[in-house]
Amino acid sequence: MGALIVLAIVSFFGYLLAITIHNLYFHPLAHLPGPFLCRVSVLPSFYHAVKQDRHVWLWRQFQLYGRKFRAAPNLVVFNSPDAYNSIHSHKANVKRSKFYDVWSRNADDVNALMTSDVEIHARKRRLLNLAFTDHSVKAAGPFIAKHIDRCNEILADSAKQNDDGWSSPRDITMWSKHLVFDILMDLCFGATMNTKEPGDSPLKKVPLAIDDFVSHNYPITKIPFFDLLAWLKPRGLDPLLEFVIPRTIKDHYAFVEDMVTKRLEEQRKRETEKTPIEREDMLHFLCTAKDPDTGKPAFGFTELLSEANLLIMAGSDSTSITISALFFYLTHNRRVYLKLVKEIKETFASPEDIVHGPKLMTDCKYLRACIDEALRLAPPVPSELPREVLPGGTTIAGEHYPGGVIVGTPHWAMGRNEEQYGDAYTFRPERFIVSDELDSLNTEEDVRMLKRGLHTFLKGPGDCVGQKLAMLQMCIVVARTLWRMDVRLAPGTDVGAGNEGLGWGQRDPRQYVVGDAYIALHKGPVVQFRVRQD
């Protein structure tokens, strides 16, 4: 027995040694620079995924190794617009990596996001597009306005209770999470959640479960022996993983199932009684979608659950992080804040005029530039979205990469590319506006070149299906709020700001700090509002 144990130990370490030698000298990526441990193991990537600072770690390596480096034995990441556009173009010979498969709860939990299968993704994406037409986005405007108007009313009531006219401090992260969640539940299910209302409610914890979900799953996508895990999941591992899912995530699944069940019952009742449709919410389009090949309903119950979960998760947090980051930078940059308020007040005679249309979506150039700048510095997805190179290989930024290699471009680092943006750490929306003013000279070509590297809603076959709706939400929320309310950083607070203790890359108190768990985790800023007197 002792000899067998010794043989097993020797075999194990011999295997590790062989893998190490292969990764260092014979792997297709062996010629690329990178930290020694990254070239032989996925442990550094896994470690920083657990710490939720993987995006900052990647940025630090770019400062040391240049535009590209080997972040794991089979992963190369890039920090250049050329690489991004090569990887994410429609013609790129790549597909989503197995990273996406691990997010699903089981084999039936497959939506437009959680699959690496090209055909399944394309089919589900075509069907999901039905819920995000230009008509449906425009129709969403009044519902978004209704919710932000109520939010502004609550802020005004709070401000009236204090002698100085300022409201009680508000954590914009919590404020925006509840606001956007209420909007999405209204648009998706026609449901009223009222999590933005004052007072306690068990529903207020529902938007927070999304953070728990991604924090639990993201490190799993970076673990050693990930390929084995991905292979085992549909082969009996899924039921075992159910036992380690945190309670908050199980509660979230139960909430989504309850909402979909109620919505389907309403749909069946309407069809039975042949009552007219008062309003076509997003789930209506999914419920009535037909498979073009069979003519049967495109989504079964389990698939509807998965798509509904995707809409809630992707729709709420991506918008919330941008609103939170924008308010952080506005309260730390008085010049930008006053310039934005001036544009909004001069463009619209009243907050009720702030609706979907060219005045808001096109004419308010500074508002759009402020949102783009917030997206650049605090992208909803901080790290890379991994793509697997298909057989035959692909060319990225002028260099060939063989099939099987994983490639990606981390968004947080991309937004801080000094070769691309110059003063990359400064919140300066003017960089995205064409201008012939001497103090802000910017040609159309300058702006076009900058936007080549700004793809926070992604591009190509994996771009964000709800990006137009998200942009409309952000524009209406910010414009109506700033038209009515003045805002300031709550005295003595620095929630969300960088500090020395966070280390290289997050020391600047003028920078908004986010965590990395696939989507951005965030807190603050804590601000106060008061009703405008002008």
Give the span between the Cα atoms of 200 and 157, in whole angstroms.
18
With CA atoms as reference, report the closest residue to 379 among 326, 418, 313, 307.
326
> How far is C-alpha 385 from the chain's CA centre?
11
* Omega before residue 525 within 30° of 0, cis: yes
Identify the H or E element spanning 96.
Answer: strand 94-96
At 311, which amino acid appears? Answer: L
- Are 34 and 84 in contact, with CB atoms under 8 Å apart? no
- Are 302 and 250 in contact, with CB atoms under 8 Å apart? no
- Are 348 and 505 in contact, with CB atoms under 8 Å apart? no
Give the span between the Cα atoms of 387 and 384, in whole angstroms.
9
- Collapse the DSSP code of 77 into the 3-class scheme (helix H, G, I; strand E, B; otherwise coil) and give the result: strand
Give the span between the Cα atoms of 424 and 503, in whole angstroms.
18
CB atoms inside a 10 Å sphere around CB 226 = 18
- Collapse the DSSP code of 487 into the 3-class scheme (helix H, G, I; strand E, B; otherwise coil) and give the result: strand
Going through 326-456 in order, the beta strands assigned E by DSSP cover 387-389, 394-396, 399-401, 406-408
Place of tokens 């990359």: 424
At 178, which amino acid appears? Answer: H
For 353-358, the CB contacts below 8 A with 24+ separation are 354/145, 354/475, 354/476, 354/479, 354/480, 354/483, 355/141, 355/142, 355/145, 355/476, 356/137, 356/138, 356/140, 356/141, 356/472, 356/476
DSSP 529: E
273: exposed, middle or buried (Cβ count in 10 Å: 0-12, 13-18, 19+): exposed
- Are 219 and 41 in contact, with CB atoms under 8 Å apart? no
Q: Is 464 annotated as a binding residue?
A: yes
Helix axis angle, 467-484 to 301-332, nearest 10°: 40
3-state helix, strand, coil in the chain (%, to 5): 60, 10, 35
Task: Name beta bridge partners: 72.
Answer: 75
Token pair listed for 216: 């639990």
Residues annotated as binding site for heme? 464
Residues annotated as binding site? 464
